[in-house]
Structure 1
Amino acid sequence: MTRPVPARPLFLGLCAALLLVFWLALALGSVSLPLGDTLRALLHLSGVPVKVEGLEQAELIVGQLRLPRALMGLLVGALLALCGVAMQGLFRNPLADPGLIGVSSGAALGAALAIVFGAAIGGLPAVLAPYLLSLCAFLGGLVVTWLVYRLGRRDGQTSVATMLLAGIALTALASALIGLFSYLADDATLRSLTFWNLGSLNGASYPRLWPLLLVGMLVAAWLPRRVDALNALLLGESEARHLGFDVERLKVELIFCTALGVGAAVAAAGMIGFIGLVVPHLLRLVVGPDHRRLLPASMLGGAILLLLADLLARLALAPAELPIGIVMALIGAPFFLYLLLRSRL
């Protein structure tokens, strides 16, 4: 472990990087806008009196297309990174990932059910119909996580090792069922299912932001209240108990928090990997293991990384758009291998 970077310059740098990447996400795309026009359009949309002559196109692109997309990328990246910190604290392993408890695979299975059989579901209220896929994905993640938790419980105790094995088994089962649905689906449904599983922010809209924002606020407000318990858990479960923390309750809260956050993120943007693994691991090397700094740093780092990946997805083959899950895999997998090799040296 290298010496941690001082908190003030670190957070100032992360905040500045997030603002810059957010600005670029609003300006760049298949139709790129001048940075000045983008800023003026954003200020006008925020109610600041600025000159708007000649900004009609910029205001339309920023307000209707890129602003909700950038906000969704910010929220999804922050949520996935926060949940990654929670899982790495629960498993006491810096290489742990939120997908270990099955929430991502459960959300993917719920989405597959909605895509393949959604047309056969009738009688939904008009207000719920546009959210069928997201709702099924969210519920699928919660159900599979609950099953993993129940399988890990024995004699009033929660076994982290049993939960890990149950998560692997249920992830494999969910993947098999998704493969079965893909085999049974027609061409149009198969295309929709494939693109959803690859992840994208293309479906961002203001109505879809509100549930994600609510979940993000809950997770971001709750996890910092448990930083002392998370720090104590790094010493081991018995040591944390001797320090006066209710370890079993902490496990339940971390599992529920991860299921809520990852389920909402996957329901909004599809399957996006490596953020919950790479971002906390990298920032732990920079800020140290103290969760009082690791949690907010990871939240900012996750938002920055996902916005950068979305920029690459939009610009690499413009005007076509790469699925963001592919971009994250191309970024995350080599970096993860580098971390593994570095730890062996």
Structure 2
Amino acid sequence: MAGTLILVVFIAVYFSLTNGTFDISVLDIVKTLLRVDPRSDYDLVVFDFRLPRIVLGALVGFALGIAGCVLQGITRNGLAEPGILGINAGAGMTVVLFMFLFQGTIQLTGWLGVMAMPMFGLAGGIAATVFIFLFARQGGRLDPQRLILVGIAMSSGFGAVTMYVSLKMNPQDYEAAVVWLYGSLYGANWKFVVAMLPWLLVLPLVVWSRSHVLDLFQMNEDNVKGLGVAVEREKNLLLLSGIGLISASVAVAGAISFVGLIAPHLARQLVGLRHKYIIPVSGLAGTAIVVIGDLIGKTVFAPAELAVGIVVSIIGVPYFVYLLLRSRKSK
């Protein structure tokens, strides 16, 4: 089943590399990648524009898919997702705050700016999570219904602060911030890819190493404690890992919602209920969603371009409503 997702990703990558304003044949793509009879115009299109965009989209999708899996596993709520819970909005607010505070002093696309933004995003994501845990608990436990309501409130509050700060920017920075907030890979470059790598080399492995704990979390919390699991410590470790993945993604590509909602559900349908398999397949599903969404956004609406975050939301909103109705019927 995972092989099917990999095949889908490769097909999307093929179309993304060969199609666009400047079409390139498969043979020319291969020659360019292998450095056989290289041409400067092909090098520019492939290495400076298309390839970093595809790689960044794949990394962001992988991170968001795993983060969504973590959130759904911890909360035992199939509707939990970084965008819906307000974690995206919290990370986005602090990244925009970083853009505002350091505009003119730090080049946002330079190495210092690119590497620092995920740390600001992490702070915002943690702040959002703290608020969620403060207000969504009832009787010492996370209440699934309150979780969604608090998440929506957090998203609105952080979104309002983000909009206020962005309006204080100069016109050029404001335009860049607005495009980024919708979840866009338009400005992707290799610096953003490098900024994502440290997070993706460590945090998915941490999450996967705790896959058996996520399996246990599907039981009643008292039963999990009875098995000798340090519940709060494990939750904090998994949450911090998930927030790190979300924050790094938001810092380089903006707030792309619903990937973390759809990917884990697809993974469970493909490989069952064991998180040992759900986690990597959820990452692959997230990769497929973002890469295909970006391909749709830049080709279907050409010569205009639609941000990948908007494309994924067009698919994600009806899917969220479907899951919400199904969860109500199952009660």
> Shorter chain as normaliser: what TM range?
0.7 to 0.9
Task: Name the counterpart of 1:75.
Answer: 59
243, 247, 261: which is aligned to 2:231? 247
- Judged with a 3 Å threshold, the aligned counterparts in structure 2 of structure 1 residues 340 and 146 are, in CA distance, closer, same or farther, namely closer
Secondary structure at the residue paired with 1:119?
coil
Equivalences for 1:104-119 in 2 at 5 Å? 104-119=88-103
Task: Name the counterpart of 2:155.
Answer: 171
The 2-side partners of 1:12 and 1:319 are apart by 33
7, 22, 33: which is aligned to 1:31? 22
- Judged with a 3 Å threshold, the aligned counterparts in structure 2 of structure 1 residues 132 and 233 are, in CA distance, closer, same or farther, namely closer
- Single out whichever of 160-169 and 15-24 deviates more from structure 2: 160-169
Q: Does 1:228 align with 2:212?
A: yes
Equivalences for 1:7-156 in 2 at 5 Å? 10-44=1-35, 52-53=36-37, 55-99=39-83, 102-119=86-103, 127-129=111-113, 135-146=119-130, 148=132
Contact 2:257 2:313 in 1 (8 A): yes
The 1-side partners of 2:85 and 2:308 are apart by 23
List 4+ stretches of structure 1 deviating above 6 A. Answer: 150-154
Deviation at residue 317 of structure 1 after TM alignment: 2.5
Deviation at residue 292 of structure 1 after TM alignment: 1.6
Question: TM-score, structure 1 length as denominator?
Answer: 0.83
Equivalences for 1:274-293 in 2 at 5 Å? 274-293=258-277
The number of equivalent residue pairs is 326
Structure 2, unaligned stretches of length 5 or more? Answer: none
Task: Name the counterpart of 2:317.
Answer: 333
- Judged with a 3 Å threshold, the aligned counterparts in structure 2 of structure 1 residues 39 and 159 are, in CA distance, closer, same or farther, namely farther
* Identity across matched positions, percent: 31
Deviation at residue 109 of structure 1 after TM alignment: 0.9
Secondary structure at the residue paired with 1:325?
helix
The 1-side partners of 2:193 and 2:106 are apart by 25
Give the residue type in structure 2 aligned to 1:69.
R
Deviation at residue 287 of structure 1 after TM alignment: 2.2
- Judged with a 3 Å threshold, the aligned counterparts in structure 2 of structure 1 residues 319 and 123 are, in CA distance, closer, same or farther, namely closer
Contact 1:138 1:266 in 2 (8 A): no
Deviation at residue 92 of structure 1 after TM alignment: 0.3
Give the residue type in structure 1 aligned to 2:28.
D
1:77-107 Cα deviation digits (max 9, x unpaired): 0000000000000110111112455421112
The 1-side partners of 2:154 and 2:272 are apart by 33
- Single out whichever of 63-72 and 130-139 deviates more from structure 2: 130-139
Contact 2:92 2:255 in 1 (8 A): yes
The 2-side partners of 1:340 and 1:152 are apart by 18
Task: Name the counterpart of 1:7.
Answer: none
Q: Does 1:160 align with 2:151?
A: no
Deviation at residue 283 of structure 1 after TM alignment: 2.5
1:269-322 Cα deviation digits (max 9, x unpaired): 001111000111232233222112111111111101100000011112323321
Structure 1, unaligned stretches of length 5 or more? Answer: 1-9, 45-51
The 2-side partners of 1:191 and 1:158 are apart by 43
Equivalences for 1:317-328 in 2 at 5 Å? 317-328=301-312
Contact 2:114 2:252 in 1 (8 A): no
Contact 2:106 2:112 in 1 (8 A): no
- Single out whichever of 206-215 and 13-22 deviates more from structure 2: 13-22
- Judged with a 3 Å threshold, the aligned counterparts in structure 2 of structure 1 residues 226 and 210 are, in CA distance, closer, same or farther, namely same
Contact 1:158 1:251 in 2 (8 A): no
The 2-side partners of 1:319 and 1:205 are apart by 21
- Judged with a 3 Å threshold, the aligned counterparts in structure 2 of structure 1 residues 158 and 253 are, in CA distance, closer, same or farther, namely farther
Task: Name the counterpart of 2:245.
Answer: 261
Contact 1:233 1:239 in 2 (8 A): no
